[in-house]
Chain A
């Protein structure tokens, strides 16, 4: 028994706030009990400890009781011990001096005869997290790893990770990783093995940025002997450890196909596991192993389908959602494999809306000739749903299915029924859809109005019947106005309806509606000039006087166009319809592939690759270095730019054979992987319903995000305001070393170590974006400004570059990450620098260099 340390003489002051009185109370009671050996003292202590911990749980700071708690902990009562350990673990960090008091009894407990006490004490010892106490950890940890009880060993292994996080050097100096490696390959207890695996993954991943050796060690974890050793024991592992092993196996690259089949045969029964996490981890192994074998890969989809569907329907709603998100991903990649399972994606009335949304997207994706009728019928039921957001989504889904071109007549019919439903939100969605519908129809069938007169007449009749007064929602109104403009030749009173709308210009609060009104009047004018002239004049006048910048600009633009030549105006405002087959996909195929690579992770739930939602320091170096590895490294960055190699997404062309439809959809962005991002290609795909001119304007009208909308006109004329912005501040005298050299390894290391000193967003000039099409042009251009590229990659429209530069006559290095989105012309730079004080100057230099790109 360690003698209790002297009481800290702190008498509670009478003026203490009342909230603290309970803590004071607890303190005096603890003191009374501290030395007591009376029978029943332990029970009294238990009650007191419970009160302390309950206060701790609800967030009351009871750290001031530290001394008293430690004094009371000299006990053989294990329940008391545990509570004390819990308390100490929570507050040791804020009381490093007092924590020293606990070392004594913890160290002693580490040598207790009872393995459970040894384990508990060791765990608490390692959880103190006080840097100056690490010297006390090494000894107990070392013996803990050699303990003959497996419980103590499992605790010790995790203890090594804890030590690593307090003091990496102490952990490495004691050569603990090597011990863990030995344990992992030899320990009879599978939980010890699993903990070793977790520990080594964590330690070596963090170490690998600075040490080649650690990187190599990390590689050996996915080597054949280790993988086979773990696989052969997989059934002995707990289900959580199985997930860990399976996650590792998914990273393994087998040497030949027979190895792949062996692994899959071995793991086949894991798909029947009741734990969804095991099933998903197994699915990931199967999917990743077969990436290079298209036909087997497809069979894997078939094989994992039933188990995943069972997981969706068994278990809690939360687990079911996690699995459904993964099923959603698979359905989106290979919809035709699931086309006969569409009934599984029907929504149940009591499901939460996040589940319904996923299911609606899946239903949309799996629709084909044979099931469209059923699916659309089902979706129409949801449209009448009391859940308004879901009703909207359902109608939108019907529209999307219509665009996929199956059984168009039936769907148009449905949409028209919606228009008669007199629910505002329904009308809105239906109108928007009908609008998309008609534009797509014109594409499919050269002249819809001639070919399907009965349809267009119906539609127009219905639309005509919707009094514009009934439609309040701006989107619906805009859609209605669009139709008035588009089909003015078929709607006898179109000009007059438009005219009355123009008369009420001031009452129209939505800028979107006013923009559409301008365009609709223009279109109507080209078709029925005499009747519309008056309305057009009024609209342009009202538009020019409009306080909203975009409306004003569009009116001015139309006015000047008309002044110049009416036929030119017509070709701009009302051109022959552009090809619209499907919605432009909101996500690039690169992003989708990234998410697929990260199967069985949060990326699938968030529908974003992990770099978009984790901070750099928490991402784990594993993913970071993968990211760099995905980009091509210019080893000789100092020399003239070596052509950056195009990086192939892992399975980009894998599913091509499977999903022809998807392929067609992505063609515009996918085909031009690295080298040819066509400047207007991106807009052509998204030209969904709008005429070309509308689009040109809508990109300007997005100026909500642009720094100042007054630039909008200049922007239109091809002037780039970022040039102006860069020119105003006088460039500070910062010069760069044109012959700077940095090897990729050092770059990675520096990038990890240095804090982010600057991050800025800015726009790129259109010329700059256009010049991106030429591969390496940017690299050469930047090099002429003494900024060297070390790695680059990405696919249109997203590009990523890593640059470095060195300050002239100094060793100070600047590291830059540049992200460019060629379709929005937005870019972002992140700068890290040895010398933080000059990073602003460097940023200015960098941006001015970049702004000249494409102009030369």
Chain B
């Protein structure tokens, strides 16, 4: 099924390379990297995840700046191979705590150990973090992970008076804590990626939420867990639910999830396997309140001049902050100078004109709920514009992370751990984060 599997660094170095059936030439990694790097002449288009060069199929996924690649010569299910590559990346992360080039280089022997068990002669064997534990003997060499929190700033949460450090989730499933005894805890993250397109008058053209309930368990003894969601949750659009109900278009579940009582009380029960895994993926096209409203205005102010005004309103509770907000807008290609003017000289606000791809960038470190921010930019052109200026610029796009915010209103009502002893109470973390997937306002 798979002939070779290798992991390349961003520069194309082999970090691990495993040949299973030897029907693909040894230089395949080089061929692959050259092909991906120079997919087309101008280097603007990305190589597709699957392509064929001289009868060899190359499959790849990009994770944490690394390229996980498989090759073969036979016709197989592409999604099987891509899922497998993705799963291998996740397994490695489970074992190393942090997945990046550095950790991989330090632990390549452990990675070989994993690869040997996950794939035998090209056939997928087990990918269960838990089952594999008994076959892995190398101790992971931890790297300093404090600098790379997994969910950006969202990884620091305050819940009650317990403060949870962002590094907790980057611990390996096999490494022992410095204190000796393992900390009993379980993390449930509700991650929602939202896509919204506004037309020029601010009306929502399309909107969608792609959500995942991600779980990472460090509980010993494999206790059963019950996860309760909103009671008024309905799936499929045919239901006539009340206007406050959360209506999902569709969802799917991890194979460990039992749905016996899901239809009656919207609870999921499962015995969580070790490592990180998605409990449930869901998709929603029901209208929802977008966290940001964007108004963008572009006006010609002279023969070689125009002005852009972008107004961003944070339409959420003041107790919540949005982080790492970035607003971008392409401007006409003859633009050669831009003067920015910000309303509030707030800290962490930077503006930039990217000359090479003719784009305005406005990055804001933190936006407090209810805030209204305005950017004015005066554009100067090197040539007179011939056509309609509106067709030469835009749209405005935005990326952000909002911790503790769930656009869909889907909630984890409670997280119950069936445990024999009452004295023992593991830590339970339920976190929400909403991220922009494609957040676009047209001019």
Residues of A within 8 A of B (CB): 50, 53-54, 57-59, 78-79, 82-83, 86, 90, 93, 116, 123, 127, 129, 154-155, 158, 161-162, 165, 191, 195, 198, 238-241, 243, 247, 271-277, 279-281, 306-307, 309-311, 313-319, 321-323, 325-326, 343, 346, 348-354, 378, 381, 384, 386-387, 389, 420-423, 598, 600-606, 610, 613-615, 618-620, 623
Contacts and interface: CB of A to CB of B under 8 A. Distances in A.
Interface string B110-152: 0011001000110111111000001101100000000000000
14 contacts: A50-B109, A53-B108, A123-B116, A127-B121, A165-B21, A243-B77, A275-B255, A313-B283, A348-B437, A353-B46, A354-B46, A381-B442, A603-B75, A619-B75
B55 A613 contact: yes
Contact of B212 (A314, A354, A386): A314
B158 interface: no
B243 interface: no
Interface of B: 1, 13-17, 19, 21-23, 26, 44-46, 48-50, 52, 55, 57, 60-63, 73-80, 82-86, 108-109, 112-113, 116, 120-121, 123-128, 134-135, 137-138, 195, 197, 205-206, 208, 210, 212, 236, 249-255, 278, 280-283, 285, 330, 357-358, 386-388, 391-392, 394-395, 397, 437-438, 440, 442
Nearest to B45: A353
Contacts of B84: 240, 277
A614 B395 contact: no
A240 B48 CA distance: 23
B178 to A, nearest CB: 21
Nearest to B333: A386
Nearest to A609: B75
Say whether chain B's binding surface is mostly helix, strand, loop, or mixed: mixed
A423 B61 contact: no
Contacts of A243: 77, 80
A274 B252 CA distance: 5
Interface centre among B48, B137, B438 (most CB of A within 10 A): B48
A238 B109 contact: no
Nearest to B84: A240
A421 to B, nearest CB: 5
B75 A272 contact: no
Nearest to B278: A274
B252 A273 contact: yes
Contacts of B77: 243, 247, 277, 280-281, 600-601
Contacts of B250: 306-307, 309-310
A115 to B, nearest CB: 10
A241 B116 CA distance: 17
Determine the main DSSP class of A at the interface with B. helix
Given A82-B116, A158-B121, A158-B123, A601 B78 contact: yes
Contacts of B86: 315-316, 318-319
Contacts of B60: 318
A310 B236 CA distance: 12
Contact of B14 (A59, A162, A241, A326): A59
A321 B49 contact: yes
Contacts of B330: 386
Contact of B438 (A161, A281, A317, A348): A348
A154 B125 contact: yes
B36 to A, nearest CB: 12
Contact of A322 (B79, B113, B124): B79
Contact of A54 (B44, B108, B137): B108
B52 A606 contact: yes
Contacts of A610: 75
Nearest to B280: A274
A623 B73 CA distance: 14
A473 B208 CA distance: 39
A601 B437 contact: no
Nearest to A246: B77
A353 B39 CA distance: 12
Contacts of A82: 112-113, 116, 137
Nearest to B385: A422
A47 B82 CA distance: 33
Contacts, number: 234
Given A79-B138, A319-B83, A321-B49, A273 B120 contact: no
Contact of A422 (B23, B205, B281, B386): B386
A339 to B, nearest CB: 16
Contact of B83 (A275, A381, A618): A275
Nearest to B110: A79
Contact of B397 (A50, A349, A421): A349
Contact of A59 (B26, B48, B52, B113): B26
Given A82-B137, A83-B109, A348-B437, A420 B79 contact: no
Given A309-B283, A315-B86, A318-B49, A276 B76 contact: no
A384 B55 contact: no
Contacts of B80: 240, 243, 277, 281
Contacts of B195: 348
Contacts of A613: 52, 55, 57, 75
B73 A598 contact: no
Nearest to A162: B121
Contacts of B124: 238, 240-241
A346 B395 CA distance: 15
Given A349-B438, A353-B46, A421-B387, A238 B78 contact: no
A380 to B, nearest CB: 10
Nearest to B61: A318
A274 B255 contact: yes
B261 to A, nearest CB: 15
Given A82-B137, A318-B49, A57 B76 contact: no
B384 to A, nearest CB: 12
A243 B52 CA distance: 23
Given A353-B46, A384-B394, 10 more contacts: A50-B109, A53-B108, A57-B17, A240-B125, A275-B255, A321-B48, A348-B437, A378-B205, A384-B392, A618-B73
Contacts of A281: 77, 80
Given A83-B109, A343-B206, A322 B82 contact: yes
For the complex of A and B, list the 7 residue pairs with the smallest distance between their C-beta atoms, beginning with the closest.
A348-B438, A318-B49, A240-B124, A314-B281, A618-B73, A277-B80, A322-B79
B131 to A, nearest CB: 9
A608 to B, nearest CB: 9
Contacts of B1: 198
Contacts of B282: 310
Contacts of B127: 238-240
Contacts of B280: 274
A237 B86 CA distance: 20
Nearest to A354: B48
B137 A53 contact: no
B14 A86 contact: no
Contacts of A59: 14, 17, 26
A297 to B, nearest CB: 21
B251 A310 contact: yes
The winner among A82, A116, A247, A600 for most chain B CB atoms within 10 A is A82
B61 A316 contact: yes
B387 to A, nearest CB: 4
B206 A346 contact: yes
B137 A602 contact: no
Nearest to A322: B79
A363 B341 CA distance: 41
B189 to A, nearest CB: 14
Given A57-B17, A238-B127, A310-B283, A422 B49 contact: no
Contacts of A420: 387-388
Nearest to B254: A274
B386 A598 contact: no
A614 B24 CA distance: 13
Nearest to B285: A343
B16 A57 contact: yes
A161 B108 contact: no
A86 B79 contact: no
Contact of B251 (A155, A272, A389): A272
